[in-house]
Amino acid sequence: MRTPTTFSLAATMLFVLAAPCLSEDVIFEDAFKDGLSKKWEPVGLDKKDYRVKDGGLEMRVQNGPAKKGTPVLKVILPFKTTDTVIVSVKVTPLDEFTADGEFAGVDLWTDGSPEFAAKKERVKGKLVFAPGKYVFKGKKGEEGDVEKYEVKYTEVTKDAGDLRITVDRGTAFFSVGPSPKDEYTGFFHSALQRDAKECGFCLTAAGAPEKANHWVRFTDFKVTKP
């Protein structure tokens, strides 16, 4: 994942909060009610590590930290990182995450690997939304220095809403929502490679302790184009 670039916080939040209100065209969705769509492709994922059950996709959390080649379930779709698309999915751990760094979520997939993530992750013993929100702690003129930012995490709540990645003209935004009050909360954003030849999204879960058998559930996967 690339380091964060500096954008106007007001502009970022305006986009994240306004985007869900726009009319949308669905370019792909899977409610997992009639099995798994044939568009999905497992990458290094063993058949015993995922299953479709009762309108959801259940996936075993891979043991050990995420690394290059961590198994995923991907779907390639007709868009570019310079377009505007939104992916949303509900992620529910079926077992408690017991190791810091254990996570489950959705990634933007470009040219054969994940580029930008939206996750539920255990950090310092708490289940949080990750990546967290970068808060500037430096002096005027130091906004471009990543070391001048502090990461603040928000604990996961049941009613926060789906994990969402909004790809918008070369930038990706991580948010969650809608809540029961129809609210969306924005967290992290980053510049993307603009010349990717293959784009899509993937579902992934990793970081479980050795010999642990933890599972997560994905429901209501949808990709739209405003």
Q: What is the pLDDT along the chain (226 residues), one digit of tens a residue?
A: 344 443 344 444 454 455 554 568 999 999 999 899 999 999 999 999 999 999 999 999 999 999 889 999 999 999 999 999 999 999 999 999 999 999 999 999 999 999 999 999 999 999 999 999 999 999 999 998 989 999 999 999 999 999 999 999 999 999 999 999 999 999 999 999 999 999 999 999 999 999 999 999 999 999 999 8
**Contacting residues for 121 by C-beta, under 8 A, at least 6 apart:** 97, 101, 102, 103, 105, 127, 128, 129, 130, 207
Compute the distance between CA of residue 152 and CA of residue 133 in angstroms, rounded to an integer.
Answer: 5
Compute the distance between CA of residue 77 and CA of residue 125 in angstroms, rounded to an integer.
Answer: 36
What does the buried/exposed string (b/e) look like for 90-103 if buried means 16 or more CB atoms within 10 Å of the residue's CB?
ebebeeebebebbb
How many other β-carbons are positioned within 10 Å of the β-carbon of residue 2?
A: 11
3-class secondary structure, 110: strand
Residues β-bridged to residue 118: 106
pLDDT of residue 24: 81
172 close to 189: Cβ distance less than 8 angstroms: yes
pLDDT of residue 146: 86
pTM above threshold 0.85: yes
Q: Domain extents for the chain?
A: 9-225
Residues β-bridged to residue 222: 29, 88
pLDDT of residue 8: 41
Instruction: Identify which of 198, 166, 169 has the alpha carbon closest to the alpha carbon of residue 76.
Output: 198
Instruction: Identify which of 62, 18, 23, 26 has the alpha carbon closest to the alpha carbon of residue 220.
Output: 26
CATH class in words for 9-225: mainly beta
- The number of residues in the chain equals 226
